[in-house]
Structure 1
Amino acid sequence: MEQKTIKCGDVGEINVYVQGNRSSNEKVIFTVHDLGCNYLQYDDFINHERMQPIRDRTVWVHVAVPGQETDASDLPSTYSFPTMQKLGESLIHILDELKIKEVLCFGEGAGANILARFACKHSDRVMGVVLLHCTGTTAGLMESLKDKVINWKLEHIGMNPTAEQYLVLHRFGSSSSKFNTAENAEQLKQVIANFQEELRQHVNPKNLKKFVEAFLKRTSIADKITHLKCPMLLVTGQKSVFSGTTNSLAQTVSRHASVKDLVNFIEVKRVANVLEEAPEKMAESFQYFIQGLGWASGVPMPSNPPITRNRSMSMEEYDLPLRMRSTSGGGSSCGSPTCV
């Protein structure tokens, strides 16, 4: 992993981590992390055995939102934390500095929101977008009230149980009781325990407060994302607090004739955090998606014959047996999510 610090206009310096070997025909995946996280949130997924064929054929460029790195020092008192929109727009400096022609965007939560803004502003540099638990709306009243309490406590108390509970809810779902009934309950409990430990030991609460506040003040992206002309994969867990708004975003995009054949929406049953609870399903969906872009087209799916996906084939069709796909018709639809 190679670290670089890149000046990104008015946003200032941003730390970037390059994973993989660069080459003249490289395929670059561009990531931004969620609240309370850093680029390491994607580490287990990228290194999952199911991702090995993709990992060997790609370069991952991870963006660290200012002040959110592990054991980060306080941001200067004079530093003006950027809005979600400014963050998204400023990321073009990273591509220019690293001489990257185009990327596939991959983000979760707040990171997905930032990358959606980047893709809308710099669509000529984006091959496709994969957005997990992406909200396209402004913050609602209840979210605003909760975030204000969290922000105050992070500022005046530091990391605390209330902030922890909020961030666990943000990433892992709407009810703590579900942890006991999850398909991989013990594994999920350990993941959440690790997340809480990271928050307590290595996340700077004052810096996190600024990121949470920027997320709270986000503007809507629903009207902007409909102008994207690249393929989109929107993913949520059925139990995620953002399942409704991700579904709504998919519906909004699908209503526009110019882009509806480019969007796929997947809702994974019985999970909240898809990357942590269903990495195999996410990896499979991701592979189908990038094969549709012409990436990793020679990599066979496990227990299935290799297939070549075109951009108009929907995820519903991929759920059909191979013998039925030829008679199922083309075109992608987001009238209802694909549940896997």
Structure 2
Amino acid sequence: MNSRKNSEAPIPERKYIVNTQSCGEIHVFVQGDLTQQDKRAVFLTVHDLGSNHHSFDDFVHHPSMCEIRERSVFIHVDAPGHETNAPALAENFQYPSLQAFGEELVTVLDFLHVKYVIGFGDGAGANVLARFALENPTRLLGLILINCTGSAASVLDSFKNKYFSWSGKQQVGQSTEDFLIYHRYGHQLLADTSPDKENVIEEFREKLHGLLNPSNVKQYVSAFLSRKDLSLKHLKVDTLLLTGLLSPYANEVDKLFQEANKEKTTILKVERAGHVLNDTPAKIAQSLLLFCKGQGLLSSVAMPGIDRRMSRGMSMEEYDKPNIRRLSLTTSS
């Protein structure tokens, strides 16, 4: 996604290194003023395989996110060893499971003194945030999950896994690279009419080899393929599941929704899109805004084509301030 070229200057970000028990050092990047968290929507993001927090950074700087960006704080979490130009993790380092990674996110929030967040995850990161929500529902005001899968290993995953070559830790094996490309851009590989697929895939390859440590990338992929089943039946947090109808994981997302708590979960399938964060950022921004308004957040941001209305005498910051009492996550008897 190259939309940042047409948007405003990047928001300055502050980097933090959080020491955790099961994930080692987690690199966290904060955009926005955390001292204003009571007057802002605070998003906690976790990225997909073969990327890092810059995939969300690009989305945040898309023109359609302008007003949301001005009234929000974004906490971007990199998976262990996925910060740009990271060294290889120590040989004796036990890479965390998606469950362990999710459970350690509360350590990040405690370190930053953040009370509540909207979880915003993509792919493997969506799975991580869902596990965090199940363990720590009182720290979330909602969840937005892109291409979140529930089954431990779909038929497709198992098939692709046969072609993995885990030998050689210094570079991404061709079969691993093929899996990552299919994982993120499978719809474009299958679409003969996609004019940009070669450019998109080449750009992904350049980032994969130029910015990320390949041996660390392998370990996150391995954790994803070794994930345990995920169920949203007992989810206590309002959740929006997002997928593209062209995504190779669309059926898996739909299956997760069918077995989820329908009182808390909504699904949105975007037409003519595979990886919705890249393909339809404006649509995702609109869906994010509508979801947040339903949680009492970003009330002063107008939906496209709708006039902004605020009570006389109320400042924009006061209008945006979350109604935490209304958003109480305590379980009713």
TM-score, length-scaled by structure 1: 0.82
Query: What residue number does 1:245 align with?
Result: 252
Q: How many residues align?
A: 296
Higher mean C-alpha displacement, 229-238 vs 296-305: 296-305
Higher mean C-alpha displacement, 23-32 vs 61-70: 23-32
Alignment match of 2:47 (pick from 5, 20, 33): 33
Contact 2:124 2:224 in 1 (8 A): yes
Contact 1:151 1:209 in 2 (8 A): no
1:209 deviates by 1.3
Alignment match of 1:22 (pick from 27, 31, 34): 34
Q: How does 1:38-53 map to 2 (within 5 A)?
A: 38-53=52-67
Kindly tell me: are residues 307 and 177 of structure 1, through their superposed partners in 2, closer, same or farther at Cα, counting changes over 3 Å? farther
- Percent identity reads 38
Kindly tell me: are residues 209 and 127 of structure 1, through their superposed partners in 2, closer, same or farther at Cα, counting changes over 3 Å? same
Task: Report the residue type matching 1:276 in the other structure.
Answer: N
Query: What residue number does 2:205 align with?
Result: 196
Query: What residue number does 1:173 align with?
Result: 186
Query: What residue number does 1:5 align with?
Result: 17
1:177 deviates by 4.0
Query: What residue number does 2:4 align with?
Result: none
Kindly tell me: are residues 234 and 77 of structure 1, through their superposed partners in 2, closer, same or farther at Cα, counting changes over 3 Å? same
CA-to-aligned-CA distance 1:217-276 (integer Å, 9 cap, x gap): 100111xx22122211000011111100101111111xx4xxx23321111111111011
Contact 1:89 1:118 in 2 (8 A): yes
Query: What residue number does 1:293 align with?
Result: 295
Structure 2's unaligned 5+ residue stretches are 1-12, 311-333
- Higher fraction of helix: 1
Contact 1:147 1:212 in 2 (8 A): no
Higher mean C-alpha displacement, 16-25 vs 270-279: 16-25
1:202 deviates by 2.1
Q: Does 1:213 align with 2:210?
A: no
What is the RMSD computed on CA atoms of the aligned residues? Answer: 1.9
Q: Does 1:110 align with 2:119?
A: no
Task: Report the residue type matching 1:5 in the other structure.
Answer: I
Query: What residue number does 1:322 align with?
Result: none
Task: Report the residue type matching 2:15 in the other structure.
Answer: Q
Contact 2:165 2:173 in 1 (8 A): no
Kindly tell me: are residues 242 and 122 of structure 1, through their superposed partners in 2, closer, same or farther at Cα, counting changes over 3 Å? same
Task: Tell me the secondary structure at the aligned position of residue 106 of structure 1.
Answer: strand
Query: What residue number does 2:271 align with?
Result: 269
TM-score, length-scaled by structure 2: 0.84
Higher mean C-alpha displacement, 156-165 vs 66-75: 156-165
Q: Does 1:85 align with 2:114?
A: no
Counterpart-to-counterpart distance in 2, 1:158 and 1:70: 16
Counterpart-to-counterpart distance in 2, 1:208 and 1:143: 17
1:67 deviates by 1.0
Task: Tell me the secondary structure at the aligned position of residue 241 of structure 2.
Answer: strand
Contact 1:238 1:271 in 2 (8 A): yes
Q: Return the structure number with greater relative CO, CA threshold 8 A, min gap 6.
A: 2
Query: What residue number does 1:65 align with?
Result: 79
Query: What residue number does 1:97 align with?
Result: 111
Task: Tell me the secondary structure at the aligned position of residue 18 of structure 2.
Answer: strand
Q: Does 1:231 align with 2:243?
A: no
